[in-house]
Amino acid sequence: DWTMGAYREIMVEKIREQVGDKKVICALSGGVDSSVAAALIHEAIGDQLTCVFVDHGLLRKNEADEVVGMFRDNMNLQVIHADETELFLGELEGQSDPETKRKIIGKLFIDVFQKYADQIEGAEFLAQGTLYPDVIESVSFSGGPSVTIKSHHNVGGLPEKMGLKLVEPLRELFKDEVRALGRELGLPASFIGRHPFPGPGLAIRCPGEITREKLEILREADAIYIDQIRKHGLYDEIWQAFVAILPVRTVGVMGDGRTYDYACALRAVTSVDGMTADYYPFSHEFLGETATRIINEVKGINRCTYDITSKPPGTIEWE
Ligand code: XMP
């Protein structure tokens, strides 16, 4: 892509100018945004970049190993795997309000980054994969008064006490442009094509209280759902697909027995930039087969629903 090739060179120069010989730490989440930001900054300044992968214990099945493995082993980036599961799940215990959950996670993210930044001598910059839609959605809505619809934790700058300046090379880009830039930088197609995943992770796909049990059930169900979508060749047609575990148990029958397990909701949407979205029109066969697999294979779920809400009036995530 000619345009992205030129953009890449301009951004590499800009990053070098901004950073000089100082060190940068990068909030690597494994999502397309932070992956592309990290690859771009790595191209500009090499080992002056250290990535911190904060594992908040709210990731999908095998996600931490896949992300850390790919950036360390395949791309030679310096990556610290900060497993802070206990810290995050401890602080989230008993919390069920969506914005409270986001605030707790956002605050801990900053604390954890600060901890690692302090260990990296000469670190003066923090890189973030903030996109243009993140910037505008958190500033205003429909030209009206400044309203925060959801407090995206990767937007709004970090507290000054952290003493780090921001490097945000994707601030002018929409998602499809970030993907084009990622391809330009040679990131593997499997990473470029990945569905977006929110910073607060599974916390906002687990409405109500978060427990380790629910997270484990959710991970298994989500893995089967995505496997089904890939097997049917639908992954690339969909902007985002995931399972939410609902805070309700329902009655079912299995063999000779009665079950009393969680209900889950499958979500899949098409979208151009995440600002608006339509639910994906799966065939009834696909939905039936997927529900059967999840209910048979995941212990703890006995009912599956499909969410047919568009955005607006709904949001893509459940919280
Ligand atoms: P909603 O649910 O607002 O989601 O329609 C739009 C897009 O943003 C993602 N999302 C988030 N990303 N922190 C993030 O980094 C958040 O708190 C957050 N909330 C939603 C969502 O996954 C979708 O791609």
198 Cα–ligand 1 center, Å = 5
Q: Is the CB of 128 under 6 A from ligand 1?
A: no
| Mutation choice for ligand 1 from 105, 175, 316, CB with most ligand atoms inside 8 A | 316
pLDDT in tens, 284-297: 999 999 999 999 99
149 falls in which pLDDT band (50, 70, 90)? very low
Beta-bridge partner residues of 50: 25, 78
Instruction: Determine the atom of ligand 1 nearest the C-alpha atom of 319.
Output: 2
Instruction: Determine the atom of ligand 1 nearest the C-alpha atom of 134.
Output: 8
One-letter amino acid for residue 300 of the chain: G
Nearest CA to ligand 1 atom 18: 198
Record: fold of 211-306: GMP Synthetase; Chain A, domain 3 (3.30.300)
- What pairing do the DSSP bridges indicate for beta strands 257-270 and 278-279? antiparallel
**DSSP assignment of 273-286:** SSSSBEE----HHH
| Residue partners of 161: CB distance under 8 A and separation at least 6 | none
pLDDT in tens, 72-109: 988 999 999 999 999 999 999 999 999 999 999 999 99
pLDDT at 153: 45
155 falls in which pLDDT band (50, 70, 90)? very low
pLDDT in tens, 218-246: 999 999 999 999 999 999 999 999 999 99
pLDDT at 8: 95
278-to-36, 155, 178, 181 alpha-carbon distances in Å: 26, 25, 22, 26
Q: What angle do CA 226, 275, 53 make, to 5 degrees?
A: 55
Residue 251 reports pLDDT greater than 90: yes
- What pairing do the DSSP bridges indicate for beta strands 23-28 and 123-127? parallel
CA torsion 37→41→47→51, rounded to 10°?
-20
pLDDT in tens, 180-205: 999 999 898 888 989 989 999 999 99
Right CATH number for 2-192 from 3.40.50.620, 3.50.50.60, 3.10.310.10, 3.30.110.60? Answer: 3.40.50.620
ipTM of the prediction greater than 0.95, yes or no: yes
21 Cα–ligand 1 center, Å = 34
Q: Could you give the CA distance from residue 175 to residue 132 in angstroms, rounded to a whole number?
A: 9
Listed by start position, the domains of the chain span 2-192, 211-306
222 Cα–ligand 1 center, Å = 17
DSSP 293: H
CB atoms within 10 A of CB 74: 11
Q: What is the pTM of this model?
A: 0.86
151 Cα–ligand 1 center, Å = 9
CA 76 and chain centroid, separation: 22
Nearest CA to ligand 1 atom 16: 152
Q: Could you give the CA distance from residue 274 to residue 235 in angstroms, rounded to a whole number?
A: 16
